[in-house]
Amino acid sequence: MEDDEPPQLLDVSSPEAGPSSPTRDAYDRPKIPLTLLTGYLGAGKSTLLDYILKEEHGYKIAVCMNDFGDTTDIEAKSLTLSNPTSQTTSTEFLSLPNGCLCCSFKDMGIAAIEEMVANAPGGIDWVMVELTGVADPGPIVRSFWANEEMGDLILDGVVCVVDSRNVLKQLAEQREGDEINECQKQVACADVILLNKLDLVTPEQMKEVESTIRTINPTLRVHHTTHSKAPLSELFNLRAFSDPTALTTTSTTKPQEQKHDHSSENCSHPSHTPTHTNGISTILIPLPTLSQRQWLRLNEFLESVLWDNKFPGSKKACPEILRSKGYIKLDDGRAYVLQGVADLFELKELSENQDKDGGEGEGQGKVVFIGKNVGEEMKFALEEFVGI
């Protein structure tokens, strides 16, 4: 997108979405969608929030930031505009001219965020929570997701901003005991990546960055940005934890493009052979239509691998899984989508409509595991245990 081009305001695929329906229910449930924002130190997270807080996009977004650090100008402006006579310097809670709310976020628990949203003047359409640059998003994603049943928020997706100039170096940073580093975890856990600082890399460097990022996480939607300027429609309504098309909509959007581009150059699909990058690897296991028995065996396999960290029926430890996704078809016509973050996973049955909406490639069942040293062993073990 060009600098002076207005952002795309609404996701037309989501008729409920929009500024005219502030209490809309994006999931047919009275819950407020929440986006987690990750990215390594200096990648451009605050720049993205700054952009969102200033743009006229029509959403009432509550933005929870780690601190107001780089946004003192917003703070000053909003305080002046909302209450010109006020001398207050409070940075607890700011109402911005475009309807957004901004709050300082330090060790703020989910309950506190929910309370803040419930008490927000005029209501809130969306919540964005920025994590620190060195945060491992896995446990945080897991907590928000686990809280959904009981809470008022629903996790829409994880957006990760990447400094395209430095990310290869950051991904390669060694940690004690060959641990997966934070940058790798952030990429592995993301649903959408902004390959930011496009102005600081050559097209060849960008290509290398994108291919490395996709090797770590082949299920990503990728946007190339400068100063984190991505249309909200590309960041919101991802339904990453409930969307049957999550595995088939990987795409790249370059700044001048408004729509997903599925050309072979820009669209990457998960590889069937494991791909390794700095200790993180990914495997896609194609699944045939499963019988009832095979379906139960698959459930057992997932429980053993994700909960007990073992291959079923064996004492052998299996690789640490950071993220799992899948689409499973049964021979009785049912279809399920698998979403997993670390040991937490969910198999959600798709309604006929959702399944029809699955888009290209939904006919092929598959499971994708992203984790440390995930290899063919995982594929062989699953195939043998499930009997496919």
Ligand X SMILES: Nc1nc2c(ncn2[C@@H]2O[C@H](COP(=O)(O)OP(=O)(O)OP(=O)(O)O)[C@@H](O)[C@H]2O)c(=O)[nH]1
Binding site for ligand X (CB under 6 A): 39, 41-47, 70, 133, 161, 196-197, 199-200, 226-228
Q: Which is nearer to ligand X, 31 or 227 (CB)?
A: 227
Minimum Å gap between C-beta 112 and ligand X is 21
Q: Which is nearer to ligand X, 184 or 228 (CB)?
A: 228
- Long-range CB contacts (within 8 A, 24+) of 71-79: 71/46, 71/102, 74/50, 74/102, 75/102, 78/102
Task: State residue 146 phi and psi, 5-degree precision.
Answer: -65, -25
Minimum Å gap between C-beta 238 and ligand X is 20
Minimum Å gap between C-beta 293 and ligand X is 48
Closest residue by beta carbon to ligand X: 133
Minimum Å gap between C-beta 332 and ligand X is 47
Q: Which is nearer to ligand X, 28 or 107 (CB)?
A: 107
**Cα 187 off chain centre by:** 9
Q: Report the alpha-carbon distance of residue 152 to residue 318 in Å, rounded.
A: 35
Q: Report the alpha-carbon distance of residue 103 to residue 316 in Å, rounded.
A: 47
Q: Which is nearer to ligand X, 166 or 233 (CB)?
A: 166
**All residues at 6 or more sequence positions from 118 whose CB lies less than 8 Å from its CB, including other chains:** 152
Q: Which is nearer to ligand X, 41 or 76 (CB)?
A: 41
Minimum Å gap between C-beta 45 and ligand X is 4
Q: Report the alpha-carbon distance of residue 234 to residue 87 in Å, rounded.
A: 38
Pair of tokens at residue 225: 């940005």
Q: Please, what sign has the CA dihedral across residues 216, 243, 238, 245?
A: positive
